[in-house]
Amino acid sequence: MTKFSIFILAFLILGLAIYSPHILRLYKLANLYNEKTIAQNFINIDKIFKNTSSPIPASDNPYIFEKKEFSLPKQYTFEGEELSLSDGLAHFHTDGLIVLHNGNMLYENYWNGNAIDSKHISFSVAKSYLSALIGIAVEEGLIDNIDDEVSKYLNDFKNTGYEKVTIKNLLQMSSGIEFNEDYLDPNSDINKFGRATARGKPFRDFAKSLKSGKEQGTFNHYVSLDTQVLAFILESVTKMPVREFLYKRIWNKIGAESDAYYITDTSGVDMALGGLNATLRDYAKFGQLYLNNGNWLGEQIIPEAWVKSSHTPDSPHLMPDAGELSSNEWGYGYQWWVPGNPMDDYTAHGIFNQFIYVDPKSRVVIAKTSSNHRFRSEKEYSKAAHIAMFRAIANDIKKEFN
């Protein structure tokens, strides 16, 4: 073998050593939503991706819901039709479903290889957890005011699109940042973010590359990186990772039965915008905490006023069906969705139909994990259908128990 051949071989080996981990991560990302494997992928994120956080431990005092008997309704009404609830749950590839009423567990079931101890990815349901942590940080005086600008807490975000954006406008997805969150578009910003993360780019660097496109506080437009910037602020004021603050202020206090974890970037930063993985029972506990206005067994964990503001749109562009003032059909609070018509209930929601649904009037919480591979093509339809299913369940519970 000539010296030149040896050089070329060495160069190729070096290239593979450097780039093959990124190529493997990109391959895994591209196949994460494969119809045949999606359900198993969603409960094995730690086995698929190398970058996951240290565990968020189970609570020192796990809380077990008391159980009561209840049968799900057979039908729900959607778009003027009476439809089978069981068919709906199957169509949307439900992985797990828990129904609570007044803190009692009325229903719990799992499908598609899921079980009580499965740690299922939450996707954007994680955003609602981050909102709660921001509320706690404000209450503790770690954040002075939600009208403060990002650059007050993050010096390295000066001269970026986020420099003058306020914390409140981040919470309400009204930052004015240009961002395409269309998962069907391979060139969308959210898909670029996924590929950049798989190649090893830190979340922080990606966020700093985004530009402002509209006046903040005037238009409701979903930008997942808004939540990640909130997480950077939280970490800067608490001097700890998101996962640690979550454990100390919420997870341990509400009696989480199992440990949990976040997807992280290559620098170990938690993906607060959608990387939390936990069991369905522990997701349900978070919903119950909100149903109780932030109070858990007599301890006010999240400020009551913050909880109410989180599901109360306070400007025209945040209302359901805001038309030209919003790119979303639902209304929005502080990282919680308000479906509207009526304005009684609200929900955390993640892609592929993850939900923590709260209905204060009926005292119902519904936690649902899913692996709906059709989500990207039936997004608004699937979201609206789920609210119809949840409301049918809540109405039956009101009739039976109230």
Asked if residue 2 belongs to a domain, the reply is no
In this predicted structure, the answer to whether residue 1 has a pLDDT above a threshold of 70 is: no
Mean pLDDT, to the nearest integer, of 233-248? 98
Q: Is residue 66 part of a domain?
A: yes
At 9 the pLDDT is 54
For residue 47 the two structure tokens come to 């086995």
CB 342 within 8 A of CB 336: no
**pLDDT value at position 3?**
55
Handedness of CA 292, 306, 355, 267 (dihedral sign): negative
Cβ 128 vs Cβ 348: under 8 Å: yes
Q: What is the pLDDT of residue 10?
A: 59
Which tokens in the block code for residue 193? 């973010």
How far is 274 from 255, CA to CA, in rounded Å?
Answer: 22
DSSP at 61: S
Distances (CA, A) of 284 to 63, 122, 278, 300, 350: 11, 12, 10, 18, 15
DSSP 129-141: HHHHHHHHHHHTT
Is 2 a residue whose pLDDT tops 70? no
Residue 374, Cβ density class (10 Å: 0-12 exposed, 13-18 middle, ≥19 buried): middle
Q: Average pLDDT over the chain, rounded to whole?
A: 94
The pLDDT value recorded for residue 115 is 98
Give the separation between CA 220 and CA 168, rounded to whole angstroms: 12
28 domain residue, yes or no? no
Q: DSSP letter at 161? A: T
The model carries a pTM of 0.93
H helix count then E strand count, the chain = 14, 15
**What sections of 119-182 are H helices per DSSP?**
125-139, 150-153, 167-171
Res 12: pLDDT: 54
Sign of CA dihedral 384, 353, 63, 308: negative
Domain assignment present for residue 325? The answer is yes
Across 107-124, average pLDDT: 98
Report the relative pairing of strands 66-67 and 104-110 from DSSP bridges.
parallel
pLDDT at site 15: 54
Whether pLDDT at 5 is above 90: no
| Cα distance between residue 176 and residue 178, in whole Å | 6
Position 380 in a domain:
yes
pLDDT confidence of residue 184: 87
Question: Of the candidates 213, 221, 148, 237, which has an alpha carbon nearest to the alpha carbon of residue 181?
Answer: 221
What are 170-204's pLDDT values in tens digits?
999 999 999 999 988 999 999 999 999 989 999 99
**Parallel, antiparallel or unpaired: strands 261-262 and 120-121:** unpaired
Residue 221: predicted pLDDT:
98
pLDDT digits (tens, 9 = 90+) for 7-46: 555 555 655 555 545 555 555 656 789 999 999 999 999 9
Is 7 within a domain? no
Q: Is residue 33 part of a domain?
A: no
The number of folded domains in the chain is 1
Residue 384: predicted pLDDT: 98
Give tens-digit pLDDT for 331-362: 999 999 999 999 999 999 999 999 999 999 99
Q: Which CATH number fits the domain that encloses residue 136?
A: 3.40.710.10
How many degrees, rounded to 5, is the angle at CA 373 between CA 371 and CA 376?
Answer: 120
Q: Which domain holds residue 336?
A: 38-401
User: In whole angstroms, what is the distance from residue 393 CA to residue 377 CA?
Assistant: 26
pLDDT at residue 278 greater than cutoff 70: yes
pLDDT tens for residues 139-160? 999 999 999 999 999 999 999 9
Computed from CA positions of residues 331, 333, 339, 344, in that sequence, does the dihedral angle turn out positive or negative? negative
Distance CA 50, CA 268 (A): 11
